[in-house]
Structure 1
Amino acid sequence: MSDQTAATPVVRRVDARHRYEILVDGEHAGLTAYRDREDQRVFFHTEIDDAHSGQGLAAILVAQALTDVRACGMRIVPVCPYVAKFLTRHQEFADITDPVTPEVLTWLDARLGR
């Protein structure tokens, strides 16, 4: 008989790499990347590995990352299209979400060397 129980994904913040990672059975399954700008955490990229797509992992990852942002007393800036879309469906984070402005985009481009 095989074990059909799916592993519970684990989300961890990796400050040295400026990202949150999601692991399934200890294996890297995806990430959402950020840079901190004063009291704002600017999210600019989210991806889930192809081997783990279609499992709802991006939503789990972003929900836990944004919950962590709140716990840290910071604010969210959703440059990443996935994070922005997630926030339209999850108004519980509206009180800590700041708009994406040209100034934030210029700052982010300078931080990322683009």
Structure 2
Amino acid sequence: MSESTTPAVVERADAERRYEILVDGQRAGLTAYRDAGVQRVFFHTEIDEAFAGQGLARHLVRQALADVRASGMRIVPVCPYVAKFLKRHDEFADITDPVTPEVLRWLKPQLG
């Protein structure tokens, strides 16, 4: 996987409850969440096929998790990609909570 040479910008889209990564102003991917009190529960991450292989998912998730830290919240990695990222990047371990059956039960109706 190579790093992107195109500038990418990560923005939090509060109304859609997700972080988006933009390349040249075009949405290239997203990581979606729901908030449960002080926990930000990440449940889905995707990068558009046209932007695959550029390291955008890693950049997106790193910036999203940094924003969670800055906001004083905690991370719950239901999304497999976010969970994999956290296993490789322990700098967020201090603000990561485990995925529990209670969290999964809470999340299901949140997603409709």
TM-score range, shorter chain: over 0.9
Unaligned stretches of 5+ in structure 1? none
1:41-52 to 2 correspondences below 5 Å? 41-52=40-51
Correspondence for 1:87:
86
Count of equivalent residues? 109
Q: Which structure is higher in RCO with an 8 Å CA cutoff and minimum separation 6?
A: 2
Correspondence for 1:63:
62
Report the identity percentage: 74
Q: How far apart in 2 are the matches of 1:25 and 1:111?
A: 32
Please list the CA deviations of residues 53-89 of structure 1 after superposition, one character each: whole Å capped at 9, or x if unmatched: 0000000000000000000000000000000000000
Structure 2 residue 69 is the aligned partner of structure 1 residue 78:
no
Structure showing greater Rg? 1
Measure how far apart 1:7 and its partner are. Answer: 2.4
C-alpha RMSD of the superposition: 1.0
Unaligned stretches of 5+ in structure 2? none
- Look up the equivalent residue of 2:53 and give its one-letter code: G
1:1-114 to 2 correspondences below 5 Å? 6-113=5-112
- Look up the equivalent residue of 1:26 and give its one-letter code: G
Q: TM-score, normalised by structure 2?
A: 0.95
Following TM superposition, where does structure 1 have runs of at least 4 consecutive aligned residues deviating by more than 2 angstroms?
Answer: none
Measure how far apart 1:110 and its partner are. Answer: 1.2
